[in-house]
Structure 1
Amino acid sequence: MEILIPADVEVATLDELSVVLPAHGFTGVTKDAGRLGTKIPTGTPKPPEFGRVLASGGFSRDLVTDTWTLILEGYATSEQRARDLCALMVGGVGAAARAGALGGIPCYRANTASLPANLPQPNVPTHFRFTATISVDLRRSTV
């Protein structure tokens, strides 16, 4: 019997956005630079701009496809840059879905549930934070 494994949606999204963000004005906002990840950077001071991707669950759409819910966060010392970063993250995920792959994983659809909204993060008082929610349909892989 074939075993189908859910994709690692966070890694796929980080891989995708690590290419998209620097190409569109957010130089250095990549996972390799430590400015894009699933955690807020721990150093002080924080980088002037960084992003965070969190999977907040999902469900099986069918036998081989899962619908994941992602929270995308853009942080910056400038309110406009935080908003633009979050919006570009949403756009990058949407473009990947239209192209058919998110970070190399087959992706069939992206649906934005919540557009970028200004939601301050009390633990990071030096930065503005915009957050958005998007769902993506990713194909499972085999063992």
Structure 2
Amino acid sequence: MELLIPADAEVHALAELSAVLPIHGFPSVTTAAKRLGTKIPAQNPKPDVFGRLIAAGGTGRDLVTDSPTLTLEGYSVKEQQARDLCALMLAIIEAAVRAGSLGGATVYRYRTIALPQNLPNPLVPDHFRFTALISVDLRRVAV
């Protein structure tokens, strides 16, 4: 019997973002530079610009496809830059879905749930934070 497990949406989306953000105006926002990940950087002071992505639940679409919800966050000491980072993260994921592959995972469609919005984070008071929500339909992986 073949087992199908949900694809790791965070890993695939972070791989896509880390590859594309540097060529669109955010050269230091990568997973390798530890300025893009699932956690807020632990260092103090924080980098001037960084991004975070979190899988925030979702649903199973059918037997082979899941629809995880991804929270995208752009942080910066400059308000417009935080908004631009979040908007670019959203656009990169949307473009990857249109191409059919998100960080190497088969992806079928997306639904933008919330466009970039200013939502300050009290844990990072010196930075602006913009957030967006997107749901992507990812094919499960056979094991």
TM-score band by shorter chain is over 0.9
Q: 1:1-143 counterparts in 2 under 5 A?
A: 1-143=1-143
Equivalent-residue separation in structure 2 for 1:60 and 1:121 (angstroms): 30
Aligned CA RMSD, in angstroms, stands at: 0.5
Deviation at 1:58, TM superposition (A): 1.0
Equivalent-residue separation in structure 2 for 1:7 and 1:32 (angstroms): 22
TM-score for the superposition, normalised by structure 1: 0.99
Gaps of 5+ in 2: none
Equivalent-residue separation in structure 2 for 1:109 and 1:34 (angstroms): 29
- Aligned residue for 2:44, secondary structure, equals coil
Residue deviations 1:10-31, cap 9 Å, x none? 0001000001110100011001
Deviation at 1:59, TM superposition (A): 1.1
Equivalent-residue separation in structure 2 for 1:118 and 1:20 (angstroms): 23
Residue deviations 1:6-57, cap 9 Å, x none? 0000000100000111010001100111000000001011011000000111
Gaps of 5+ in 1: none
- Aligned residue for 1:45, secondary structure, equals coil
Equivalent-residue separation in structure 2 for 1:53 and 1:110 (angstroms): 16
Q: Quote the sequence identity (%).
A: 65
Counterpart amino acid of residue 32 in structure 1: A
Deviation at 1:5, TM superposition (A): 0.8
Equivalent-residue separation in structure 1 for 2:6 and 2:87 (angstroms): 27
- Aligned residue for 2:113, secondary structure, equals strand
TM-score for the superposition, normalised by structure 2: 0.99
- Aligned residue for 1:26, secondary structure, equals coil
Counterpart amino acid of residue 75 in structure 1: Y
Equivalent-residue separation in structure 1 for 2:110 and 2:49 (angstroms): 25
Equivalent-residue separation in structure 1 for 2:111 and 2:21 (angstroms): 20
